[in-house]
Amino acid sequence: MEDVQSLSPSVSIGIDRVGVRGLKRPLLVRDRVHGMQQTVASVDLGVDLPSAFKGTHMSRFVETLEAWEGEISYQAVRHLLEKVRHCLSARRAWAHFTFSYFVNKPAPASGRPGTVHYDCRLTGELDEQGQHFLLGLDVPVMTVCPCSKAISSEGAHSQRAMVHMEICLHGFSWLEEFIEIAEGAGSSAIFSLLKREDEKFVTEQAFANPVFVEDVVRNVAQRLAAHKHVGSFSVEVESMESIHHHNAFARIEGQGAYAATGASGR
């Protein structure tokens, strides 16, 4: 049968990225407590397409993913990207994974078990120069407003805030490391199960540690900048304000300790 994709296009312009999006498949992710945990990922795959070709071969992306071992690790993702490059005769291959990661987080006073999930993203790209990893992570925290606490005779307003991190990684790090960085920057962590003694503990802890959204983003950025496996990073904190008819946000982009060594990461 005729290979229409390999014909010359009517408009000879190269395409930076073409591929498939939204493939669902089981995924193994390294877990600091249990070694591994299984989750479900949405996977996007893409390659560059030279100007001489009309289209790419979509089925080859699916075939390559089906034959892949399905594990998030440097070696496994590199293997996937190498196969995609080879099968599609591409210079650059790209893969993006979106998945939930689960952590057992006991209640702080009663110790009752509870499971909290975190939305994660991992992007891998491979070209002639090497491989690049970008980790994305969303971590909810609680914040108590320092201004509200200072000017009020009773209480202060509190709310949930979301810490969004995008981290260029140059070495293995547990997801829990970055979850703990984010949770340690707020007034309190978020829990799935709280009994009355736990609510008392969380409330008192949070009110003893009021923070602005600016405080949270600075605290996270400071710890990311000191992390030995972090190259460049961006962190944005959005506060879902409880008494204002708007949200508040703050963002910092910076370099980690790995970037400070002058290593290229390739």
So what's the pLDDT on residue 258? Answer: 87
So what's the pLDDT on residue 3? Answer: 57
So what's the pLDDT on residue 265? Answer: 41
68 close to 27: Cβ distance less than 8 angstroms: no
Residue 247 pLDDT > 60: yes
Condensed to tens digits (0 to 9), the pLDDT of residues 115-155 reads: 999 999 999 999 988 888 999 999 999 999 999 999 998 88
pLDDT bin (cut points 50, 70, 90) of residue 185 is very high
Condensed to tens digits (0 to 9), the pLDDT of residues 9-34 reads: 556 688 889 999 999 999 999 999 99
Q: Closest Cα to residue 178, out of 221, 131, 148? A: 221
**β-strands 115-127, 93-104: how paired?**
antiparallel
Condensed to tens digits (0 to 9), the pLDDT of residues 76-102 reads: 999 999 999 999 889 999 999 999 999
Q: Closest Cα to residue 120, out of 172, 90, 173, 164? A: 164
Q: Closest Cα to residue 74, out of 39, 125, 26, 24? A: 125
Map tokens 């994709």 to a residue: 5
Average pLDDT, the chain: 91
Helices 213-225 and 175-185 pack at an angle, to 10 degrees, of: 140
Residue by residue, what is the 3-state secondary structure of 157-184? CEEEEEEEEEEEECCCCCHHHHHHHHHH
For 12-74, the DSSP string reads: ---EEEEEEEEEEEEEEEEETTTEEEEEEEEEEEEEEE-TT-S---HHHHHHHHHHS--EESH
For residues 3 and 75, which has the higher predicted lDDT (pLDDT)?
75
